[in-house]
Amino acid sequence: MPNVSVVLTCYNGARWIGRAIESVLSQTYEDFELLIVDDGSLDNSKQIVASYLRDERVRYIYQENRGFSAAINNGIEESGGSLVGFIGQDDLWMPNKLKLQIKYLCRHKDVDLVHSNCYSIDSEGRIIEVIEAKVPNTSKKKTIELLFLNNFIGFETVLVKRKCFEEVGFFDERMVGFSDHDMWLRIAGSFNVGGYIDLPLVKKRQHEFQLSKVRVEAVLKDEFLIIKKALDRYPFLERVKRKKLVQLYYAWGISFLQKGKNNEAKQKLLKAIRCQPWKLKAIAVYVLPFLYTTVWDHYRKIAPNVRAKLKWLES
């Protein structure tokens, strides 16, 4: 069996999936298998993937549409490597990703998951910014708390030991798109997730068809389920629950506002304010939604690399 299993889930990914596959096959570390799980694509993804099946490391698995988490789980179940990595159909790996991560795990035997920084790229592959994801050097409890508040472990950047899934289970199929956040929280309680390489080893593509943008409300609901599951598992997180809720209600309110649903937006923003009365941005948007909408309309017209420097507007 190969040492590493790479799982690539696909749903109507014809536009970019060929480049994603090539970025895995171009790895300088070659002892891997690539499992492409097609979650019921309706485009010509299957035909594109077929041209890569002559490489014996590549396997294609088709399933009826069951969602991202179910596709990931199918890939893990069908794989055999002692280490597992993931890549999105629209993302790219740098050629030395696996080599550097294998080297890191060989040197740090106590680490069970290693991740890295990544490049944020636009739909044409141009670099927007570097997203740094350094793991704080702190206690396990504090790491879990920080991870609960903000998922700093990028799904496409990880290389994780199979034994983690054998103990904590697979990805939660009730979740639309943020099941990786839930997974890292579950793993962090029993394993060492402190592996980190301070280099961008992945290019993560930002585009208008991303699940997190197309189904904003659904993925935000995922986060509320994550809160419930995390609190059941780690009662000490109760002390930062309100801080997490503020983030989610504010984000939900902003998503409604951007769709022109002002009444629904004000309801969510009011919940954010009640959780944290000194949340000045929430108060400002609640009082002056028209001003925010006007600023947002202009903001969207700014070049992506400039928007990256103004990210606080979206936070």
pLDDT tens digits for 279-289?
A: 545 555 655 55
Range of the domain at 243: 234-313
pLDDT computed for residue 315 by the predictor: 46
Q: What is the pTM of this model?
A: 0.84
Does one domain contain both 66 and 181? yes
Residues whose CB is less than 8 angstroms from the CB of residue 262 and which lie 6 or more positions away in sequence, other chains included: 256, 289
Distances (CA, A) of 186 to 35, 168, 230: 24, 7, 8
pLDDT computed for residue 12 by the predictor: 93
Query: For residue 206, what is the domain's CATH number?
Result: 3.90.550.10
Higher per-residue pLDDT: 161 or 271: 161
Highest-pLDDT range among 96-110, 214-228, 239-253: 96-110
Total domains in the chain come to 2
User: Does residue 20 sit within a domain?
Assistant: yes
User: Does residue 218 sit within a domain?
Assistant: no
Does one domain contain both 56 and 185? yes
Choose the weakest-confidence range: 49-53, 197-201, 240-244.
240-244
pLDDT digits (tens, 9 = 90+) for 100-149: 999 999 999 999 999 999 999 988 889 988 999 887 778 999 999 999 99
How far is Cα 153 from Cα 185, in angstroms, rounded to an integer? 10
Residues whose CB is less than 8 angstroms from the CB of residue 124 and which lie 6 or more positions away in sequence, other chains included: none
pLDDT computed for residue 200 by the predictor: 97
How far is Cα 7 from Cα 242, in angstroms, rounded to an integer? 35
